[in-house]
Amino acid sequence: MTPTSSYPARGRLYQEHLSLPPGRGIRIRQYTLAGVLGTWAAAALPMAALAWIVAPWLASTMDSPTAWPRVLLGCLTAGLVWQFVLVLVLVYREQGTLRWSVVKDALWLHRPQRPDGRRMGWAWLVLVLLVVAIAAKEALPNLPMPAIRDMGLFLGSDAGQSFLSGNWTWLAVILAMGIFNTVLGEELLFRGLLLPRMNGVFGKWDWAANGVLFALYHLHVPWMIPTILLDAFILAYPSKRYRSAWIGIAVHSVQTVVISALVLALVLG
């Protein structure tokens, strides 16, 4: 019998029942629909506000040709750091501790395993297929974006290359943004925190709902939402099947590695 009395629901965040991951000693509370959407909003709305309200306002107060890209990168990094803080707050609220032995299971940060509980073994090769899939997705066309928000365009311009040449400080900022994006921010929130807690509302389709919410979270870059919907199959479903957020983190982090390498080349150039 799944115990519930020692985990009273607070507000409308939790359902009454709990789920226990196979072989794990902690209890993961299942969120209500309001809890799922509230957590989504706590991540998506600050990112949208930072990108569309705060960044333009801050850039307008600065007189520099690189003011806009610097402010935008800084604001998005702040939003990703906030997601990491949000995860810690919600895990502490649920588990009453932030000990690693508890956190790693509460956020599915344990070794991937097959649905029958066995270790993956050669099934780790699935990561190769997922990396190929996400690379193919990146090659798909997105909706048109404002040129001013195209960081690739800026980095490829003379102004961008001049700005980054020898600029180790901004290399550190971009690396931090990448880490909080694919390791400590988005993936930790969506695949580590939300995905294990969505089954109570969405049942066997929790991974699909997770993918849709992840796509809609990108209000700060709405032109990317249609292609990001594919991440339901590339990131969310494998993470659910193997009950490990490390799957999504590893695959998503390939983007960070590539971007970091390109930026490092510009800094050294």
**DSSP string spanning the chain?**
----TTS---TTSEEEEEE--TT--S-EEEEPHHHHHHHHHHHHHHHHHIIIIIHHHHHHT---TTHHHHHHHHHHHHHHHHHHHHHHHHHHHHHS---HHHHHHHTT-S--B-TTS-B-GGGGGHHHHHHHHHHHHHTSPPPP--GGG-HHHHHHSHHHHHHHTT-HHHHHHHHHHHHHHHTTTHHIIIIIIIGGGSHHHHGGGHHHHHHHHHHHHGGGSGGGHHHHTTHIIIIIHHHHHTT-HHHHHHHHHHHHHHHHHHHHHHHH-
Number of domains in the chain: 1
**The predicted structure's pLDDT at residue 24:** 52
The answer to whether 30 touches 19, Cβ cutoff 8 Å, is: yes
Instruction: Assess whether pLDDT exceeds 70 at residue 78.
Output: yes
Report, as an integer, the average pLDDT of 191-204.
Answer: 94
Strand partners for 255: none
7 in a structural domain: no
218 in a structural domain: yes
Report, as an integer, the average pLDDT of 49-70.
Answer: 89
Instruction: Assess whether pLDDT exceeds 80 at residue 118.
Output: no
Report, as an integer, the average pLDDT of 205-226.
Answer: 94
**The predicted structure's pLDDT at residue 206:** 95
Report, as an integer, the average pLDDT of 6-24.
Answer: 46
CA–CA separation, 127 and 77 (whole Å): 27
**The predicted structure's pLDDT at residue 266:** 82
148 in a structural domain: no
Q: Which of the two residues, 241 and 26, has the higher pLDDT score?
A: 241
Instruction: Assess whether pLDDT exceeds 50 at residue 175.
Output: yes
**pLDDT tens by residue, 23-53:** 456 788 999 999 999 999 999 999 999 999 9
The answer to whether 206 touches 120, Cβ cutoff 8 Å, is: no
State the pLDDT confidence band at 76, using cuts at 50, 70 and 90.
Answer: very high
**The predicted structure's pLDDT at residue 145:** 82
197 in a structural domain: yes
CA–CA separation, 28 and 252 (whole Å): 24
11 in a structural domain: no
1 in a structural domain: no
**Measuring CA to CA, how many Å separate 67 from each of 48, 201, 256?**
19, 44, 23
Instruction: Assess whether pLDDT exceeds 80 at residue 1.
Output: no
| Domain containing residue 78 | 31-108+124-141+153-268
118 in a structural domain: no
Q: Of 84, 114, 93, 101, which is closest to residue 190 (Cα–Cα)?
A: 84
128 in a structural domain: yes
